[in-house]
Amino acid sequence: MRVHSVLLLLAATPLSIIDAAQQSNQFDSLGVDDVEGSVHPAQPQSHLGNEERFVAIPESIKTLLAATKSKLQNLADEKEGSKVLVSLGLNNRVDNLFDNPAWVTYMKHNGVKNKENDMLLALKKHYTDEELSSIFIAARRFGDEDVKKIALELQVQQLFMRSSHRKSPAAMFEHLGLNTVSQLENRKLTGKEEAVRLFDSQEFFLWQAYVLRIHNGNSKKATGAMAEVLTTFYGEERLVKMLLAAKGAEEKAVRNVAAGLQSEQLQLWAKDLKLPQDVFKLYELDNVPRWKMGKLVRNEANRLFDNIEYRLWEAYVHNMHSKTEKADEAMVDVLTFFFGEQKLSSILTAARMEKGKMPLVLRLRTAQLTRWKAGDKIPKEVASLMGFKGSAIDDPERELWRAYLQDYNVRHKLSPAPKTEP
């Protein structure tokens, strides 16, 4: 009979196998109904006989499951890795260490927090370093998120234990072979390919976790240290291109890594007082607008101002000039240097036609007028450069020009401006 078969199977199941079926979010909340694979009352089925419609849990099975629950609860307070392995029947070599849910649950809630690396020391009694590395790599490649986190932490602990002294982030980068991970013998990689091969590699995530641990979990300091190392190995321009290319990667992890590194790269540049025009060129913003027959196509202005690197550069310049409040003037100086006065004016004229761009245009126009005032440019030439001919009488740029004209007349002691305007 079916009930009889189920009971025989459960009665013959070793405790260690039932242990391996236990999973919960917290040890102290794990009960009989929380045990994955436990026997529940069967739902009535029309095709079953009356005696097979309901399967009650025998007292012996309840006792067995309760004992397993108690064992798991006791493990929550156990700090000695070897005792945990013995209790779970893992004190001998096994091929499926991460297939034991009870051990994974213990490690998730308690094991990886053990700063004395006691679990790793216990495992080293049964496995060589090379075998453990293979186990951890496989777990990170094929396991779920909990398993990946546990394996990564154990790998980081293993790196610290292997070294007689703590390696610097740069030394560990080389030790893990990351300095050659993006190299191919037959062809040169594109920036995107290079970024994916590096940032999506097992070794990179291990190195990232290692650096994070060195900095006591401070992700900002760790990312800054990583940016310094990557700059050393790849060079500034090459790293910038890799980070720019990584934006188009399909892998979310690659995009996230690149975004964090790009932000910290800006901090390093600010620390070194890198000039805004140098950052502008490194981001290749000087190549964004494309010109045809000397006239700017409207959407090319958007390609510049909507570019994520432009916004990063803008933030960089504003941060550099936060005390003087002359960031917009500094930006106009750089834009004029790369595009010229006429082209920059055309960019702003094109941008004003796009929805939401007027505040940006007015800020840069105001800064541009400040520079023109310093150069004592005549109002007629300014009006021509601003390109508002034919615009409404209350056009915001026309208002800026009127203010410029009035100031020019006062400084040059000229008669009030005529009522006719361009």
Evaluate if pTM is beyond 0.75: no
Report the share of the chain in percent with pLDDT over 70: 70
Q: What is the dihedral of CA 213, 219, 225, 229, to 10 degrees?
A: 90
Predicted pLDDT of residue 260: 92
Q: What is the mean pLDDT of residues 189-200?
A: 84
Separation of first and last alpha carbons in the chain:
100
Report the SS3 class of residue 54.
Answer: coil
420 pLDDT band, cuts 50/70/90, is: low
Compute the distance between CA of residue 396 and CA of residue 362 in angstroms, rounded to an integer.
8
- Does residue 314 carry a pLDDT above 60? yes
Task: Give long-range contacts, CB 8 A cutoff, 24+ apart: 259-266.
Answer: 260/219, 260/223, 261/223, 261/226, 261/227, 261/230, 262/312, 263/223, 263/312, 264/220, 264/223, 264/224, 264/226, 264/227, 265/227, 265/231, 265/239, 265/240, 266/312, 266/315, 266/316
Predicted pLDDT of residue 180: 83
The two counts, helices (H) then strands (E), for the chain are 21, 2
| pLDDT 10s digits, 219-237 | 999 999 999 999 999 999 9
Predicted pLDDT of residue 404: 92
Element (H, E) at 316: helix 308-320
- Does residue 3 carry a pLDDT above 80? no
Burial code of 8-42, b = ≥16 C-beta within 10 A, e = fewer?
Answer: eebeeeeeeebbbbbbbeebeebeeebbeebbeee
| pLDDT 10s digits, 402-419 | 999 999 999 988 876 655
Query: Would you say 353 and 367 are in contact if contact means Cβ atoms under 8 Å apart?
Result: no
What is the sign, positive or negative, of the torsion defined by CA atoms of 391, 394, 397, 401? positive
- Determine how many CB atoms are found less than 10 A away from the CB of residue 360: 16
| pLDDT 10s digits, 84-122 | 777 777 767 666 677 777 778 777 776 555 555 677 777
More confident residue, 45 or 396: 396
- Does residue 26 carry a pLDDT above 50? no
Predicted pLDDT of residue 31: 33
- Average per-residue pLDDT for the chain: 75
Residues 6 or more apart in contact with residue 195 via CB below 8 angstroms: 242, 243, 245, 246, 249, 254, 258
Query: Would you say 158 and 133 are in contact if contact means Cβ atoms under 8 Å apart?
Result: yes
Burial code of 260-277, b = ≥16 C-beta within 10 A, e = fewer?
Answer: bbbbbbbeebeeeebebb
Query: Would you say 224 and 266 are in contact if contact means Cβ atoms under 8 Å apart?
Result: no
- Does residue 333 carry a pLDDT above 80? yes
Predicted pLDDT of residue 370: 95
Compute the distance between CA of residue 152 and CA of residue 112 in angstroms, rounded to an integer.
10
3-state secondary structure 242-272: HHHHHHHCCCHHHHHHHHHHHHHHHHHHHHC
- Dig out the tokens for 273 from the structure: 């007082």
Query: Would you say 44 and 53 are in contact if contact means Cβ atoms under 8 Å apart?
Result: yes
